Homo-oligomer: A and B are copies of this chain.
Amino acid sequence: MQDRTINQASMDPSRHPQTTSSNNSKTAELDPVLHSIGFEIEEVSPSQLTGRLPITTRCCQPFQVLHGGVSALVAEGLASMGAHMASGYRRVAGISLTINHFRSAAVGDLVLARAKPVHVGRSTQVWEVKLWKQPGNNNKAGHPQIISESRVTLLCNLPVPDNLKHAGDALQKYAEGSPKAATSSKL
C-alpha cells in the first residue's frame, strides 16, 4: 500500500544530502543517545523535527535489520525535543509511547524521520513520529515506504528545577520559529 500521507516534497532525497558535520555536532549536543546510534537531526522547530538514520550494524538486531527499539528511541527523542519547544521550554516528561512497526529496514538503507505535534494542550502533548525508508536495495517501490509510526504522550506543565535551567539552552540555539501557543484544550 502506498502511504498517501507522505509529503513527497519533504521526503525528496535531494533535500537529504550526505552527512554533514554540522548535523552531526548538533545531534551530539541535542541528544547524545540518538547520536550514538548514528542518527542525524536536521530540522528542529516547535511544529516539526526531521532527521535521517543511515542503517548500519550499529542500529541493527542479529537478523541484520533495524532494531525495533531504535525506531522507538528515535520517536521518543524527537518528540521530547518537540514538546519541550512547543511548551515554551518548560520541562516535559514522556508518559507513554506506542509504536507500530510496518516494514523492516536493512543495512545500507537510508531511513528518514519526521515528528509533528498531534495535540498541544495545557497539560499534555501528543506527537506523531513516522519513519520511512528511501527507495533503494530494499525498497523497489519508487517512493519512500513507511516503516513505523509512533504516538508519544508527554506531560508538559512541569516546573524546571533550578539546577536544570540551562538544560534546554542547546535546543533554543537550534530551534527555528517561535514556540507554539497553548491550545484551549484543558488536557
- Bound CA span A185–B36, Å: 29
**Interface size in chain A (residues, C-beta < 8 A):** 68
Nearest CB in chain B: distance from A1 CB, A? 4
Contacts of A100 in B (CB 8 A): 95-96, 118-119, 126, 151, 153
Given known A31-B61, A61-B77, A187-B95, contact A123–B1 (CB-CB < 8 A): no
In the complex, chain B residues whose CB is within 8 Å of the CB of A98: 96-99, 151
Some 30 contacts from A to B, beta carbons below 8 A apart, are A1-B120, A31-B61, A31-B67, A32-B60, A33-B58, A33-B59, A33-B67, A61-B80, A62-B167, A62-B170, A63-B164, A63-B167, A64-B164, A67-B73, A69-B72, A69-B75, A72-B97, A72-B99, A93-B186, A93-B187, A94-B101, A95-B100, A95-B153, A96-B99, A96-B101, A100-B119, A100-B151, A102-B185, A123-B123, A126-B149
